[in-house]
Amino acid sequence: GDSVTQMEGPVTLSEEAFLTINCTYTATGYPSLFWYVQYPGEGLQLLLKATKADDKGSNKGFEATYRKETTSFHLEKGSVQVSDSAVYFCALSDSDSNYQLIWGAGTKLIIKP
Amino acid sequence: KAGVTQTPRYLIKTRGQQVTLSCSPISGHRSVSWYQQTPGQGLQFLFEYFSETQRNKGNFPGRFSGRQFSNSRSEMNVSTLELGDSALYLCASSFGANLPQNTGELFFGEGSRLTVL
């Protein structure tokens, strides 16, 4: 069945560092891919998404490109801020999952000033 | 428009009691999903309701149940509480799959944090 694998955290970076959080997926169909973010004490919110191969989702300085050849959707940001400290979840949905979101385990990001 | 509202935000119960959590979805959304989030297990899917019918179910014991009303509001109930049920319970709403408006995006509430003593 479908699955999502994220790099384990926590990931600790200094402010203004470059961020990459790896996400790879397994799916038999053509899934839509998502990154959600959960700030401390809050629910999850959609950060960005991509619905087909080579699409690039972007929001708040974060980007992720849907790479079908490597089945990846890595999250990147050029210069992180303390306010980016949160847990980041990669997820997919497609017809095989009955459009239920299949979630990665989440990666905690800690940004130090 | 108003977001997903979950009540109560915090509650403390003792083992053996039961609890009911409520979720009001975004207006127009017909699908409501429930998740349990714990530090050890991460985000785990409980069940999804669409138009008052349970459409999908995760791997949780029968002590966990839910329902959805005609106005799309949903409740989940946990009976005979155990210490391990302490968690953040998240509700998420969406238009629902196979509808033209469906973008695949879930809209989450802030959660109900349950502590079982």
* Cβ within 8 Å of residue A27, ≥6 positions away: A2, A71, A92, A94, A96, A97
CA closest to A89 among chain B residues? B43
CA closest to B31 among chain A residues? A100
Contact (CB<8Å) A99/B42: no
Residue B66 has pLDDT above 70, yes or no: yes
Distance from CA of A43 to the nearest CA of B (A): 4
Q: Of A100, A102, A107, A108, which to mutate for an interface test with B (greatest number of B Cβ within 10 Å)?
A: A100
Residue B71 has pLDDT above 90, yes or no: yes
Q: What percent of chain A has pLDDT over 70?
A: 98
Q: Give residue B97's pLDDT.
A: 64
Pick from A32, A42, A103: CB nearest B104:
A32
Stretches in chain A below the pLDDT threshold 70: 98
Average pLDDT, chain B: 91
Do residues A76 and A20 make contact, with C-beta atoms less than 8 angstroms apart? Answer: yes
Cis, bond preceding B8 (omega within 30 deg of 0): yes
Contact (CB<8Å) A99/B48: no
Contact (CB<8Å) B106/A51: no
**What residues of A are in the B interface, CB distance below 8 Å?**
32, 34, 36, 41-46, 49, 51, 89, 93, 98-101, 103, 105-106
Q: In this structure, what is the dihedral angle of CA atoms A87, A57, A74, A110, given to the nearest 10 degrees?
A: -30
- Identify the DSSP state of B109: -
pLDDT band of residue B56 (cuts 50, 70, 90) is confident
Residue B100 has pLDDT above 60, yes or no: no
